[in-house]
Structure 1
Amino acid sequence: MCGRFALTARPEELMELFGLLEAEDFPARYNIAPTQPIIVVVASDRAKPGSNLPERKTLLVRWGFTPGWVKDPRKFPLLINARSESAVEKAAFRAAMRHRRILVPASGFYEWRRPARGRGEASQAYWVRPKRGGIVAFAGLMETWSSADGSEVDTAAILTTGSNRVIRHIHDRMPVVIQPEDFARWLDCRTQEPREVADLMAPAPGDYFEAIPVSDKVNKIANTGPELQDEAVPAKSPEAASRNRDDDRDDNNRQMSLF
């Protein structure tokens, strides 16, 4: 899954990667959380100058997908992710999979390795980023929800897939990554039906990401600085720490027995 991510690239970098004529001006954000506004890339209704391809633009939307048929979002679950394998079959996402596919720019995402219940182990946060740096484009879905008074809210979810070998030891799901050469096909909802882009919703190559253990500061949405991405010593459970102390004592006893 993807419950937190970051975007620290400059607008000019987004314009270059996504072929935008302009981009939203935004500050570096190191701890983007659900319900907050996020930047997404969509295909517009206008064609690029001198091309038949649609122009691309950025929008600010709420991270937390709300289907158009929902009457009261307060009584509806917060959908920040959608499983790519079944999204087209789900009533909440079916229309968006066909008509409103988007790209979600990110510098990387955070994931937590959570121990099984009863083991007494601590959760460990990881900052997962492209090995070569730069911007990654997550596959997403968008929906505009309209209230009874006529006001509208643009909302979005990030599509997920099974994890690759780098992420698997942390979590069994990861965001779907769309490569630059596939941007046009993914965003083309006029001619490319969901079944024709299904091949794009696969795990990223095993060497695409690196996972860096970080502190639990990222758990709090009030923490928003670059230090969230500093590498940290992985947390140890009380039991593991106790075992290490026992091992150290055994090593010392063995060493003493040599004299």
Structure 2
Amino acid sequence: MCGRFNLLDEYDYVAQLFNSRTALQFPARYNIAPGQPVVIIKNQIDVPESQKNRPDMQLVQWGFVADWMKAPPARLILNARAETVLYKPMFRGAIEQNRCIIPASGWYEWKTIKGVKQPFYLRRDMSKSNNSLMGFAGIYSRFMAADGSEIDTMAILTREAVGHVRQVHHRMPCILPQDGFDEWLNGWDVRGRNAIKLCDDENALKQVESIKLYPVSRDVGNSRIDKPYFIDEIELEDAKDMPQKPQDQLSLF
């Protein structure tokens, strides 16, 4: 799953990378947790034809609520599995019309080591990539609460982890290729079954080639704290506890 991530890049750079018509101003977030407001990139339905390829930035709540639901689920729905999102009643409407991109500088995963849950930070290795910012595939929905207020919500798509990411967790967010941003957002012309191919094995392997992972402070588990040191690498007591890249990083099995 993907249950914690961050967004450190400047808002104007985020807008530029995703070709957004708008640029929301937001501070660096080192510890974005479930239920909190997050930035998404989405296409607007009610815009002139000439502007349909220029998405907008919007703040929404992390925790998906389908538009047909009468009340939010008891537990926050943070992720949707790419393998089943086309068929599950909760998501199949959103994957067709309401696809979005979640800008992220990195994400956190926990691995149990000697009975202790140790967080690891996963981000772009800038020696292997010229772009620190990633775009997670997502879906969004507008839910009407009992009091008549409208709440925009989202979920991050995940898939089976590949490459060295598997050493930390068996799932990972679907990281979109930059040349696939427009296709993912195009709910008018691109069907969900075609868009979901951007989450396939071939693309996932390409995306993780530049991912670096390392252990960080366990303080990141506290959603009430948001500090820059959360992304600082720490040393584990025993070096052999550090996940190692498999020799054949491009193998799925």
TM-score bin (small chain): 0.7 to 0.9
2:104 to 82, 87, 106: 106
- Cα gap change, 1:4/1:134 in structure 2, threshold over 3 Å: closer, same or farther? same
- Tell me the equivalent position of 1:121: 115
- In structure 1, what is the Cα distance between the partners aligned to 2:185 and 2:99? 6
Residue type matched to 2:68 in 1?
W
Number of aligned positions between the proteins: 230
Compute the TM-score of the two structures, normalised by the length of structure 2: 0.86
- Tell me the equivalent position of 1:7: 7
- In structure 1, what is the Cα distance between the partners aligned to 2:237 and 2:214? 13
Shift of 1:222: 2.1
- In structure 1, what is the Cα distance between the partners aligned to 2:237 and 2:159? 27
Identity between Structure 1 and Structure 2 (%): 34
Shift of 1:197: 1.5
- Tell me the equivalent position of 1:37: 37
* Structure 1 residues 38-57: aligned runs within 5 Å: 38-45=38-45, 46-47=47-48, 51=50, 53-57=52-56
Structure of higher CA gyration radius = 1
- In structure 2, what is the Cα distance between the partners aligned to 1:194 and 1:21? 24
- Tell me the equivalent position of 1:65: 64
RMSD: 1.7
CA contact (8 A) 2:163 2:205 kept: no
- Tell me the equivalent position of 1:143: 141
- Tell me the equivalent position of 1:226: 228
**What residue ranges of structure 2 are gaps of 5+ in the alignment?**
242-253
- Cα gap change, 1:128/1:90 in structure 2, threshold over 3 Å: closer, same or farther? same
- In structure 2, what is the Cα distance between the partners aligned to 1:219 and 1:113? 12
Report whether the alignment pairs 1:164 with 2:166.
Answer: no
- In structure 1, what is the Cα distance between the partners aligned to 2:51 and 2:30? 37
Shift of 1:165: 1.1
Aligned residue for 2:54, secondary structure, equals strand
1:201 to 194, 199, 205: 199
Report whether the alignment pairs 1:178 with 2:176.
Answer: yes
Shift of 1:56: 0.8
CA contact (8 A) 1:41 1:103 kept: yes
Residue type matched to 1:113 in 2?
K
- Cα gap change, 1:47/1:209 in structure 2, threshold over 3 Å: closer, same or farther? farther
CA contact (8 A) 1:99 1:190 kept: yes
Shift of 1:70: 2.0
